[in-house]
Chain A
Amino acid sequence: MVRQVEPRSDADPVARRLRDLGFVDGEPVRVLGQGPFGGDPLLVQVGYTRFALRRAEASRVIVEALA
């Protein structure tokens, strides 16, 4: 489950976009797969939608494991 998105700088467009896409507090997320080279990018499901996120982007999302 998502806790929050941590911006990298004051005006971090990636963090804003991630929030717009639904990475917000309390939203369930799952990593469903990884790319073939170096495990990048990640295949992430949030809401009903799948996104490809690079690890650098995904690392902004602070999550909490659910049981």
Chain B
Amino acid sequence: MLFKDQVDFVRQHLKKNRLRVFTTILATTMGCAFLIVLASIGFGLQGSMERGILTDQTVTEIEVYGDPQKKIDVDAIRKMDNVRAVVEKTNAQLSANVKFEERTNSVPVNMTDFDNEEKIGSKLSEGRLPQNSDEIVVGYHFAENLLSKAELKEQEKLYEESAENDTTSTKQAKKLGYKESLVGKTISVKLQDYDNDKAINKELTFKVVGVSEKPAKDWLIKNTILFSHELKGEFYNIYKASVKDSKNIKAEKDMFYPEIKVHATNLEAVKGVIAKLKDKGLSVYSVTEQLDDINVIFLAFKVGLIFVGTIAVLIASIGIFNTMTMAVTERTREIGVMKAIGASPKLIQRLFLMESAWIGILGTAIAIVISYGISFLSNWLLPIIIDMATDSKQFQEADIVFSHIPWQLILVASAISIGVALLSGWRPARKATKIDVIQALRQEL
């Protein structure tokens, strides 16, 4: 039988039992749509979470920790393949007490190799990177924390009020701090040992040449100063000279903690670089590792959802099984005639399998369309509904995707539901091939 005639044959039979076929397709559609929508929640939430992580932090950045007693061979790391740059920042156990005009600010001392910063293309919101050790870069929030005496009092009052009102998100009613650009200004700095409550009396002066970039996360306050790492020795000497009891002097390696960040050339290279760093016996932290963990958890979650959804498809398959069994029973005589005339059992089986496949395919196709509709609606309406219930605007602003349907999910769901349709049509189709011609022809019209 030509394929076109087979299709015609199947279509004719489906038309004859329109209502029965329709309800069976409906059940298949519901099962399959349930499967897709359920699993799409897994994909949607995973995507939202991934995006949250990736936009907050630099993806190609790998933090490296070594044995504190040994110096990490930064040059060796720098020479590794796929490493764009290595930034070695130093956090000193010192704070810098800043004085500028009548304003003061106290910030941790961070040091870095500015040549390297240049190389990795560190961005500033204003100014340029320092070219010698007299020049510094201040954090994005440095200026607004540079307060006069009156402002300090006002800030204290504000804190108290916000503590009473218990509203943590209360913003400063009036922007405090220095409002003009600090670039080109000279500030004076007194160092202070963390363990000491008094600043060291030696006053240093630095020229502000740049202001760092605005941090990615809104809540991150960057109230810092970046000094050149060439000042390490000088700062240590100032500290050493200020300590009276020589027994209490901290060793230099206890005073400065290295913070090494390796920048891989691109996201794909991160994995390889991490592996090589681990081979060197270093501990690493990278967002991508966090992503890997999340991906494993979400994989399990998605498999679970697909499993639950498949149960719905299986329930729908009972409908297909019943419909096809009835179709075979009803058509026993006709199948007998077909076989008598010379239709091979294989052809009979194929015709019935095509019928259940058609139910599966149509049900799945409709389910895909409906699922996209539900997915779209839920992404649009759910945030609005949740925000209405909680009386806020958080969800609408957060750009959270609840449901996402990637093509892989469509593929898996289609395979499952069409596969299940074929499986449930299999036995009725077999039954059709087993029909005895003599018995079938004896049936009354």
Q: Decide whether A and B are members of one complex.
A: no
* Interface residues of B, Cβ cutoff 8 Å to A: none
